[in-house]
Structure 1
Amino acid sequence: MSDPKFVAAEAISRRKAQLVELSERIHATPELGWQEHLASGWVADALADAGFTVERPYLGLDTALRAGFGSGPHTVGLCAEYDALPGLGHACGHNLISAMTVGAALALAAVADEVGLTVVVYGTPAEEGLGGKCELLDRGAFTELDLAMMAHPAPEDDPDPAALAVSHSRISYRGKAAHAAGAPQEGVNAADAFTIAQTAIGLLRQQLPASVRVHGVVTNAGEAPNAIAEHTEGRWYVRAETLEELHRTEERVWKCFEAGALATGCTLEITPESQPYSEMRTDQRTLALYTANLEKLGRVIPDGPGTMSRASTDFANVSQVVDAIHPYIGIGSLPAVNHQKEFAAACVGPTAERALLDGATALAWTAIDRFARSN
C-alpha cells in the first residue's frame, strides 16, 4: 500500500504549473468582495476538471461555491478566498490562498478512499471586511465538517496567530450646506463632526488596552472647499481580543462619534457593514500536526508572534462551530507586510510559489495525519 502522504505530495507536484498559473491569473485580475466572478469561476473549473462536484452559485451567493469529492466518514473542509483590496490588488495574497486550497483539495482527493475522507472546498467571497463566511454560516454552510482549514500568506510562517475579533462600520454625518465665505453661519459642518470624532478617538487610545485597535478612513470629506460640508462618510474598524471586549470598546468609540454630532449639530448614523468577526479558536491537536508537517518540509518557525498576530478573519467565525486551524505561511517578503503594494508584488514569483506548494502539502498531510489512524 502506498504512503498516502507521498501520494498527496506527488499529486501537488504534478500540478505545480496549473496551481501557479491559477494563482498568477487571480493575482493579475483583482476583484473586490462580492464581485469575484472570474476568480470563483477559475477555482470552480479547476476542481470540476479534477472530478469534484461543484455548486456555483452556492446558497444564493453568486461568487460563493461548494465543491465535494469522496464519501468517507471524515469530512475535511478547505476554504478558498479570492477577493482583493481596493487600490492595493492582492496585497493580502488571496490569490495564493485559492491556489493552496485547490492544491490541498486535489492532493486529498487522490487519497480520499484510502484515508476515508470526504473533501469539501468552500469558495468564500468578501473576506476583506464584508463577512462572506459569516453570511455562509447563516445560510447553513460548514456544519457538515469535522475539520476546517486554510493557510494565509504572511511575511513569515506563523502557525498559530492570535486573530482579533473585529467589527466593521460605516459612519455618516449629515449637516447643512452653506457658502463657506458668504454665509458660513448658515451651515452645519459635517466635516467638522469627523474632526471632533477623530480627535476624541485619538485621546481615547490613551486609555485603551494594548489588545485593542481602532482605525478608519474618511471616504467622503465634503463636496467643495467653498461649501460647508453637508454630508461626510467614513469606514471604521474596532478590534479586540474577544467579542466581549469588542462590544465594550465599541460603546466607548461610538461615544466619540456622538461627540462629533453633538458639537456640530449634525445627525449621525452608524451602520454595520457585516457581522462582527470573532476571535480565532484554534484546534491545538490539528495545529501540532500542521506545525510538524511544516518542519518536515524544511520550513523554520520563527520565535514569537508574527507580523499578522493582530489581524482578523471571518474564518474565525467558522472556528467557533467546527475544529479549525488558520496558519500563516511565509512568503519571505520582509520588510514588506500585508496590505502593502510591495506585499502584493511578493505574492507572485519563486518564493511565493514555494509557499503555495508547501502550504498545500502541509494542509493535505495534516488532514491525513488527523484522520488516517481513526479508520
Structure 2
Amino acid sequence: MALEPAGPGADSSVEPSISRPAVERAKQHVARTLACDAEQLVRLSERLHANPETAWEEHRAAGWVAELLDEAGFVVTPAYLGLDTAFLATYGTGPFRLGLCAEYDALPGLGHACGHNLIAAITVGAARSLAALADDAGLTVEVYGTPAEEGGGGKIELLERGAFAGLDLAMLAHPAPVDIAEAEALAVSHSHVAFTGRAAHAAAFPEQGINAADAFTVAQVAIGLLRQHLPQTVRVHGVVTDGGVAPNAVPDRTEGRWYVRAERLEALAEVERRVWHCFEAGALATGCTVEVTPESKPYAEFRTFEPAQRAYVANAARLGRRFDQDSPGRRMNRASTDMGNVSQAVPAIHPYIGIDSLPALNHQPEFAAHCVGPAAERALLDAATALAWTALDVATGETIAPAATPDSCH
C-alpha cells in the first residue's frame, strides 16, 4: 500500500511528511488486517493462557509468538543475544525504528493472572498490521520477545546486551481491570533472603539449635514496625519459601523472596538499606547468618514519551475506550515493570487496556479467568489497533481520526 507525501509546496530540503488522507488510509489497512487476523490472535492468546510458563522457562510461548511473526514475513532471530527464551523479529527498512515488546511469562501458581498472554497477542497483532505499510510509512518494525518480566528482569538483561539501542519509540499495552493512559510504575528490587542456623532436636536438645525460622520472624516484625516511618509510596513485601522441614527439628535454614519498591531508583537504594538492617537484626537476635542476593537488577521507574502518549489516548478514545480516573482499578499503573528500564533508554509508552474484570484485580486467580473471553478479545484487538495507529501518528507526525474497520478481508 503506497503512502504519498504531502503535496506541492513542501520544503524539498527536508523529508516530506505523509499526507493526512494517506495516514487515514493506512489506519484503515491496520483495522482491516486486524479484523482478518482476529481469530488467530485470539487462538494465540488462549494457547498461551492454557499453557503458562514462568520466568526464563517460556520456551513454547516464545516459539508460538515468533511463529506468527515468521508467517507474516518477519525475519526472526531466536535465542536473541544469548537468552534462550528471547527473540527479535524485524520487518521493513524505514528510518523510524519502532520497537514492540511481547511479554509471555506467567506467575508461579497463578498462571496468566497478569495477562501476559494478551500482551503477546496484542504485540503480534500490532506488528502484523503494520508490516505491509512499513516501508511506505518509513518504519522498521522490531518485535522484541522479552522473557521474565515477573521478577526476572528480562528486558534489563537485553538492554545490557545491546537491545533496544536507537529505537525511536518502544511500546506495549498491558491488561488491567480498566483502561489507564499512563504508566506510573515504581522502581523495585527483587531479592532472595536466606538465614542459616543450626539444626537440633526441638525437645531433647533445643539449646543446641540456632533457629533460622525465628530469624525470619524477628526480621518481619522489624519490617512491620519500619513501615510506619516509610513514605506512602514505598512498598515492602515478601514470602517465606522455605520455613523448615519438621516441627521437632530446629530449622537450620530458611529462605524467602522480598521486593522493595519506591518512586525512583535513588529512593529505592535508601529504603533497601533500612530493610536489609531488619534482616540483619533477625540474624543478630538469633545467632544466624543472613545472605541477601539480588534476583535481578532493579527495575526503574517509568518515563513516558508524551507525544506518543497523547496519540495513544486519542486513538483509544476513538475506538470507544474510556479512561476512568476514579476507578480503584487504575492503581495498576503503579505496578513495577522492567519496561521502566527501557523507557529510561529510549522514548516509550506503557498504557493499560481494560478487560472489565472488576472486582478481580491483577495477580488474582479471578483476573486470570478474565484474560480469556469476549472482553479480553475486544481489549486485544482494541489495544493492537491503538498501538499501530499510534505508531503511524508518531512516525508521520500526524494525528487524525481513524476510519472504521472495513467489512472485507480482501
> Any unmatched runs of 5+ in structure 2?
4-21, 399-410
> How much has 1:111 moved relative to structure 2?
1.3
> How much has 1:110 moved relative to structure 2?
2.3
**Partner residue, 1:347:** 371
Match of 2:395 among 333, 357, 371: 371
Q: Counterpart of 2:210 in structure 1: which amino acid?
A: V
The TM-score with structure 1 as length reference comes to 0.98
Match of 2:242 among 220, 223, 232: 220
Q: Output the CA distance in 2 between the equivalents of 1:345 and 1:373.
A: 39
Structure with max Cα Rg: 2
Q: Output the CA distance in 1 between the equivalents of 2:368 and 2:333.
A: 19
What is the DSSP-based 3-state SS (H/G/I as helix, E as strand, rest coil) of the residue aligned with 1:75? strand
Once the two structures are superposed, residues 331-371 of structure 1 have per-residue CA deviations (whole angstroms, 9 ceiling, x without a partner) of: 00000000000000000000000000000000000000001
The TM-score with structure 2 as length reference comes to 0.90
**Partner residue, 1:251:** 273
**Partner residue, 1:110:** 132
Poorly superposed stretches of 4+, deviation over 2 Å = none
Does the Cα contact within 8 Å between 1:72 and 1:118 map onto a contact in 2? yes
Structure 2 matches for 1:114-263, cutoff 5 A?
114-263=136-285
> Any unmatched runs of 5+ in structure 1?
none
Residues 1:295 and 2:317 are matched in the alignment: yes
Q: Counterpart of 1:229 in structure 2: which amino acid?
A: P
Once the two structures are superposed, residues 283-306 of structure 1 have per-residue CA deviations (whole angstroms, 9 ceiling, x without a partner) of: 011100000000000111111471
Q: Output the CA distance in 1 between the equivalents of 2:305 and 2:90.
A: 23
Match of 1:34 among 56, 69, 90: 56
Once the two structures are superposed, residues 8-62 of structure 1 have per-residue CA deviations (whole angstroms, 9 ceiling, x without a partner) of: 1111111000100000000000001111010100011100000000000110011
Residues 1:308 and 2:332 are matched in the alignment: yes
Does the Cα contact within 8 Å between 2:113 and 2:363 map onto a contact in 1? yes
**Partner residue, 2:343:** 319
Q: Counterpart of 2:150 in structure 1: which amino acid?
A: E
Q: Output the CA distance in 2 between the equivalents of 1:310 and 1:318.
A: 17
What is the DSSP-based 3-state SS (H/G/I as helix, E as strand, rest coil) of the residue aligned with 1:320? helix
What is the DSSP-based 3-state SS (H/G/I as helix, E as strand, rest coil) of the residue aligned with 1:219? strand
Residues 1:335 and 2:343 are matched in the alignment: no
**Bigger mean CA offset, 111-120 vs 322-331:** 111-120
Q: Output the CA distance in 1 between the equivalents of 2:63 and 2:229.
A: 47
What is the DSSP-based 3-state SS (H/G/I as helix, E as strand, rest coil) of the residue aligned with 1:329? strand
Does the Cα contact within 8 Å between 1:8 and 1:110 map onto a contact in 2? no
Q: Counterpart of 1:263 in structure 2: which amino acid?
A: A
> How much has 1:92 moved relative to structure 2?
0.4
Does the Cα contact within 8 Å between 1:76 and 1:147 map onto a contact in 2? yes
Q: Output the CA distance in 1 between the equivalents of 2:381 and 2:314.
A: 16
Q: Output the CA distance in 2 between the equivalents of 1:110 and 1:174.
A: 59
Does the Cα contact within 8 Å between 1:155 and 1:307 map onto a contact in 2? no
**Partner residue, 2:73:** 51
Q: How many residues align?
A: 374
**Bigger mean CA offset, 306-315 vs 163-172:** 306-315
Percent identical pairs in the alignment equals 65
Does the Cα contact within 8 Å between 1:66 and 1:122 map onto a contact in 2? yes
Q: Counterpart of 1:353 in structure 2: which amino acid?
A: E
Q: Counterpart of 2:138 in structure 1: which amino acid?
A: G
What is the DSSP-based 3-state SS (H/G/I as helix, E as strand, rest coil) of the residue aligned with 1:129? coil
Q: Output the CA distance in 2 between the equivalents of 1:21 and 1:214.
A: 38
